[in-house]
């Protein structure tokens, strides 16, 4: 290796399901402060790689490093303590709480509980101020008092992103952030992710190629559990083997 330290790195990472390798000896590197997308045809192993990196699944073999340290055996909460956070799915948005309450809850989770009364009051004020700022930043101010359960699908995704960013992660892992979103929401969420990427590392698995082309500075193309190519959008999209993988033709 070249001695560089990555936000996340895998070494010969594999995950097997009953003899089938969904991820097969992957050496993946997520550079610090990059906006990195993993793409590939259906069944390529993108979700499995994502689930390995986020500790949703244990690997069958290989190693995962965060900032150069072996984190292969750490749990998801342990990774969150290291400021590596994955977007939660919509189920993590509390339908029976308002938008503001959801954000406040996320902020309380970030800070933990303050011990003394004065500390608690100061902390409470900070939470309220930061909730206002997050509502504003995510265009949710008008929906602050709305029950999260009655938001549109797109706004739920925006709220979910807001609660994830309330944790101020240094590494943000997003699983298909545009899935199920309409054109307008895609534009909004793309902008939010671009802003969220300032000063942090973002990895996304995403099917929408326009979004990938617009957002990602680095793209990893997976095919059949392996990394086929990595580079800028221009680099990977000009490769014949990448195109062939997408059109289902045989490739070398």
Residues in contact with ligand ADP by CB under 6 A are 17, 22, 40, 42-48
User: Residue 43 Cβ, how far from ligand ADP at the closest point, in Å?
Assistant: 4
- Closest CB 28 distance from ligand ADP, rounded Å: 14
DSSP for the chain? ------SEEEEEEEEEETTEEEEEEE--EE-TT-EEEEE-STTSSHHHHHHHHTTSS--SEEEEEETTEE-TT--HHHHHHTTEEEPP-GGGS-TTSBHHHHHHHHHHHHH----SHHHHHHHHHHHHHHHHHHHHHTT-GGGTTSBGGGS-HHHHHHHHHHHHHTT--SEEEEE-TTTT--HHHHHHHHHHHHHHTTTSEEEEE---HHHHHHH-SEEEEEETTEEEEEE-HHHHHT-HHHHHHHHT----
CB of 42 to ligand ADP, least distance (A): 5
Q: Judged by CB, which is closer to ligand ADP: 9, or 206? A: 206
For the bound state, the minimum distance from the C-beta of residue 51 to ligand ADP, rounded and expressed in Å, comes to 8
Which lies closer to ligand ADP via its Cβ, residue 53 or residue 165? 53
């Amino acid at each position: 290796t070249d001695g560089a330290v990555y936000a996340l790195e895998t070494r010969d990472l594999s995950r097997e399901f009953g003899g089938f390798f969904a991820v097969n000896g992957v050496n993946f590197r997520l550079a610090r402060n990059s906006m990195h997308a993993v793409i590939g045809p259906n069944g390529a192993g993108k979700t499995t790689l994502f689930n390995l990196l986020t500790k949703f699944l244990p690997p069958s073999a290989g190693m995962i490093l965060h900032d150069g340290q072996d984190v292969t055996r750490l749990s998801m909460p342990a990774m969150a303590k290291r400021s590596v956070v994955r977007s939660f799915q919509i189920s993590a948005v509390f339908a029976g709480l308002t938008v503001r309450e959801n954000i406040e809850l996320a902020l309380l989770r970030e800070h933990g509980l303050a011990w003394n009364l004065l500390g608690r009051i100061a902390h409470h004020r900070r939470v309220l101020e930061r909730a206002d700022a997050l509502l504003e930043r995510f265009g949710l101010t008008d929906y602050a008092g709305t029950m999260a359960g009655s938001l549109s699908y797109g706004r739920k995704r925006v709220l979910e992103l807001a609660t994830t960013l309330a944790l101020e992660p240094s590494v943000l892992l997003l699983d298909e952030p545009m899935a199920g979103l309409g054109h307008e929401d895609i534009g909004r969420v793309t902008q939010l992710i671009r802003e969220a990427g300032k000063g942090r590392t973002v990895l996304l698995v995403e099917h929408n190629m326009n979004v990938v082309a617009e957002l990602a500075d680095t793209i990893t193309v997976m095919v059949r559990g392996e990394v086929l190519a990595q580079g800028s959008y221009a680099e990977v999209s000009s490769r014949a083997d990448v195109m062939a993988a997408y059109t289902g033709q045989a490739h070398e």
